[in-house]
Amino acid sequence: MAKERQNCWEYMKCGRQPEGDKVAELGICPAAADTSYDGIHSGKCAGRICWAVAGTFCGGRAQGSFADKRGTCLNCDFYKLVQEEEGVANRHTKFLQFIAQEDRSPFFDKMTYRHVKAGERFVVQGEVENTAYIIQRGSCLVIVEKDSELHPVDHYGEGDIVGGLGILTGEPRRAHVEAETDMDLWVLTKAQFDEITMKDPALLNFITELVADRLDSRRPTAYRTIGKYVATDIIGHGAFSIVYKGEHKDLSMPVVIKMMRHDLALYPEFINSFHNEAKTIASLNHDHIVKVYDFDERYRTLFIIMEYVQGDSLKDMISHLRALPPKLAVNFLDQICSALEYAHQRGIVHRDINPSNIIVQPDDQLKIFDFGLACPTGTEDFSSTGTVFYMAPEQIDGDPVDPRTDIYALGITAYEMVTGRRPFPEDDLKSLLDLHLSHNIPDPARIVPDLPALLRDFIVNAGRRNPAERYQNMAEAIEDLQPLVREFGLTNKDLSMEKRKMASLFLIYKDEHQLALKELMDDFSTKAQSLGIVLKAADFRDL
The SS3 of residue 470 is coil
Q: How many CB atoms lie within 10 A of CB 251?
A: 10
Angle, CA of 221, 216 and 152, to the nearest 5°: 40
Separation of alpha carbons 37 and 496, rounded Å: 43
CA dist 448 and 495 (Å) reads 31
Distance CA 278, CA 539 (A): 36
CA-to-CA distance for 211 and 202, rounded, in angstroms? 14
What SS3 class is residue 290? coil
Q: How far apart are the C-alpha atoms of 484 and 478, rounded to whole Å? A: 10
The separation between CA 88 and the C-alpha centre of its own chain, rounded to angstroms, equals 31
**352 part of the active site:** yes
Please check whether residue 95 is in contact with residue 161, taking contact to mean a CB–CB distance below 8 angstroms.
Answer: yes
**Helix ranges (DSSP H) in 200-298:** 201-215, 268-282
Q: Which of 34, 160, 263, 352 is catalytic?
A: 352
Query: Amino acid identity of 352?
Result: D
SS3 letters across 308-327: CCCCEEHHHHHHHHCCCCHH
With vertex at residue 350, the alpha carbon angle to CA 347 and CA 351, rounded to the nearest 5 degrees, is 120
CA-to-CA dists, residue 389 to 84, 115, 355, 440, 464, angstroms: 43, 53, 11, 14, 15
**375-383 contacts: CB < 8 A, separation 24 or more?**
375/276, 375/348, 375/349, 375/351, 375/401, 376/347, 376/348, 376/349, 377/344, 377/347, 377/348, 377/349, 377/401, 377/402, 377/403, 378/402, 379/349, 381/351, 381/405
Per-residue CA distances from 155 to 132, 181, 228, 370 (Å): 16, 12, 32, 33
- Give the C-alpha separation, 256 to 228, whole Å: 13
Give the sign of the dihedral formed by CA 310, CA 316, CA 320, CA 325: positive
The region, left, alpha or beta by phi > 0 then psi within -120 to 50, assigned to residue 386 is left
Active-site residue numbers?
A: 352
